[in-house]
Amino acid sequence: MPKVTVAVPFYNDAPYLREAVDSILAQSFQDFELLLVNDGTTDESAAILAAYTDPRIRIITFPENRGRPHARNAALEHAEGEYLAWLDADDIAMPDRLKKQVDFLDAHPNVAITSGAIERFHEAEGIFHPPLHHNEIAASLLLYCSILQTTSCFNLKKIREAQLCYDNAFQRSEDYEFWCRALFDAKIVAENQEDVLTRYRHFKRPAKSEWHKMVVCRNLDRLHIEYDNDDTEILVSLCYDTRKDTALRYNIDNILKIIDKIILSNNSLQLIDEKSLLIFFQRSIEELLLENGNFLAPYSIYKKSFTGSGSSNLFPIKYILKKLFNV
């Protein structure tokens, strides 16, 4: 049995597939199988793979495209490794990626899921570091995908024992929805690594999607919160480069109201570590306010309402603002 199954689903990724495959075959850690899932591709991808003779390569082929969740579930079913590492077909794994992830998971048997930083290239540049520790990951996961699919690696036995699979209803954001069920419902532990593990081929797409909002709605349902479409727009926008748009469309009362609901409900249900959730929203609000000067005027209303006494009767959101601005 190989130590790691590296799973690469692909659909019409011929321009990039060879780079992805070569980056795995060149890993410093060599105890792996490479499981390629052909999701009904119609380009030259199959011919490209036919040139490889490495016995560690296995290919699953579907006659027609059935979507990313189906392809990922096929990999989950057929993987033979102790760990399963994902790589998107248009990305490139760093040479020591598998070694670093195997060493990390071996050294932390309580951790089932890990991912790492990515280096963007193609249509954008820069390095993105996800939150590192479980409570931070869970707090962020409420609103955005803080486990990066193309750098992710998990303990396959623990995932199977939790009976987790990808939801075929999500043709996009299927990874985000999967991680939410893993952490919030199955109570699986995740820790990220600081190292850059994958070069991520960035394509300029809309910053948010209806699929993403559907996952956020499921998370709000987990907290038993009543919400409307404006609430979900606000929450999704807080985590992307659309804060200016949020500031122009909504006043601070709207934003603080839905965040208040989340914090108060979570205090009761304990879905997410309270302190980590407060810090997550503190940072989000701080960035929103500092990036949009017009928001500071209505903020003065809240500022005047503080007594400065640190009263336990203060609403959680007021506590955040108090910490932010020392009022």
Claim to verify: residue 54 and residue 182 sit in the same structural domain: yes
Last residue within a domain, chosen from 184, 202, 220: 202
Claim to verify: residue 256 and residue 299 sit in the same structural domain: yes
- Cα 282–chain centre separation: 20
Claim to verify: residue 16 and residue 66 sit in the same structural domain: yes
Claim to verify: residue 169 and residue 305 sit in the same structural domain: no
Claim to verify: residue 55 and residue 186 sit in the same structural domain: yes
Claim to verify: residue 112 and residue 191 sit in the same structural domain: yes
**What are the average pLDDT values for consecutive 10-residue runs of the chain, which has 327 residues?**
97 96 98 97 95 97 93 97 97 98 98 97 88 97 95 98 96 95 98 97 72 95 94 83 62 83 94 93 77 50 39 45 46
Claim to verify: residue 226 and residue 149 sit in the same structural domain: no
Last residue within a domain, chosen from 183, 202, 221: 202
Total number of domains constituting the chain: 2
Claim to verify: residue 193 and residue 227 sit in the same structural domain: no
Range of the domain at 264: 210-325
Beta bridge pairs of residue 128? 118
Claim to verify: residue 156 and residue 246 sit in the same structural domain: no
Which pLDDT score is estimated for 300? 42
Claim to verify: residue 190 and residue 223 sit in the same structural domain: no
The CATH number covering residue 127 comes to 3.90.550.10
Three-state secondary-structure class, residue 210: helix
In this structure, how many other beta carbons lie within 10 angstroms of the beta carbon of residue 49? Answer: 21
Claim to verify: residue 198 and residue 134 sit in the same structural domain: yes
Claim to verify: residue 253 and residue 170 sit in the same structural domain: no
Beta bridge pairs of residue 201? 121
Last residue within a domain, chosen from 149, 175, 202: 202
CB burial of residue 325 (10 Å; 0-12, 13-18, 19+): middle
Which pLDDT score is estimated for 311? 36
Give pTM, 2 decimals: 0.88
Picking from 104, 127, 103, the residue whose alpha carbon sits closest to that of residue 117 is 127
Helix/strand number for the chain, H first, E second: 14, 10
Three-state secondary-structure class, residue 326: coil
